[in-house]
């Protein structure tokens, strides 16, 4: 498959800085819990925290991925270590596309009664959306292309690319 540059590293860095400032401003005097969704959002979440000027707690969560098997249902494979009851929570995602994964996560997290629950995603691909999900902080809106790099993978490859690239056949 061919790779085509979509978002260069400089633009990613600049935008993450902006998001960090925006979140710091919105959450001034508060201490949000950032929930990084494994594995794709790790790179983004860590870089985002470097630009936060407010205190925060970071935690990680992982859910099983659809594998084409007919009988399974989604389940949490790594749950939070912290209690989010009556806390401000920001879910940090690498990409929001169909909204299926995030929809499940938000349903699950809402049941734990956080004070507030917001979504911060590096990439948003609204044209692929199946279920509506509110996105509060968005790095880049992208067209319906298959992207990898900066945490996003294709069969576990390409995560460590510094730029975000389109994989084309």
Partner 1 sequence: MDIKIITISREFGCNGTEVAERLAKGLKFFLVNKKYINESMVKHGLTEEQLESLEESSIQPFSDTRKKYIELMNRLILEIAEEKPIVLLGRGGQFLFRNHPYAFHVKLIGSIESRVLEVIKQYKLDKVSALRLISEQDRRRDLYINKIFGGDWHDPSLYSLIINMDYFDVSGAVKMITRAIKIAERNSYVKFEGVSEYPKDATGYIPHFAHSSEEEFAKLLDFYGIRWLYEPKTFILECDSEGNIISAFTPDFYLPDFDLYIELTTQRQRLVNYKNRKIKRLKELYPDVNIKMIYGKDYKNILRKFGLI
Residues with catalytic roles: 97
**Counting every residue, how long is the chain?**
169
Residue with smaller CB distance to partner 1, 28 or 155 = 155
Phi, psi of 58 (to 5 degrees): -110, 140
Cβ 96 to partner 1, closest distance in Å? 12
Closest to 135 in 3D by CA, of 118, 152, 122: 118
Rg (CA), the chain: 16
Residue 97 or 124 having the CB closest to partner 1: 97
Q: Helix, strand, coil shares of the chain as percentages rounded to 5?
A: 25, 35, 45
Binding interface with partner 1 (CB under 8 A): 65-68, 70-74, 97-98, 100-101, 103-104, 107, 127-132, 144-146, 154-155
Cα distances (angstroms) measured from residue 28 to each of 98, 158, 165 = 32, 36, 34
For the bound state, the minimum distance from the C-beta of residue 13 to partner 1, rounded and expressed in Å, comes to: 25
Element containing residue 50 per DSSP (H, E): helix 42-50
For the CB of residue 133, give the shortest distance to partner 1 in the complex, in Å: 11
Comparing CB distances to partner 1, the nearer of 40 and 139 is 40
């Amino acid at each position: 498959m061919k790779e085509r540059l979509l978002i260069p590293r400089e633009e990613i860095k600049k935008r993450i800085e902006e998001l960090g400032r925006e979140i710091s401003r919105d959450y001034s005097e508060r201490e949000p819990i950032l929930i990084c969704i494994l594995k794709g959002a790790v790179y983004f979440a860590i870089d985002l925290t470097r630009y936060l000027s407010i205190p925060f707690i970071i935690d990680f969560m992982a859910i099983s991925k659809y594998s084409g098997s007919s009988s399974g249902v989604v389940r949490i494979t790594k749950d939070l270590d912290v209690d989010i009851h009556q806390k401000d929570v920001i879910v940090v995602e690498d990409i929001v596309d169909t909204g299926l994964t995030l929809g499940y996560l938000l349903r699950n997290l809402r049941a734990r009664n956080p004070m507030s629950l917001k979504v911060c995603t590096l990439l948003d691909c609204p044209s692929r959306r199946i279920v509506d999900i509110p996105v509060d902080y968005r790095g880049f809106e992208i067209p319906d292309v298959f992207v990898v790099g900066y945490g996003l993978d294709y069969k576990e490859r390409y995560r460590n690319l510094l730029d975000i690239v389109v994989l084309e056949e």
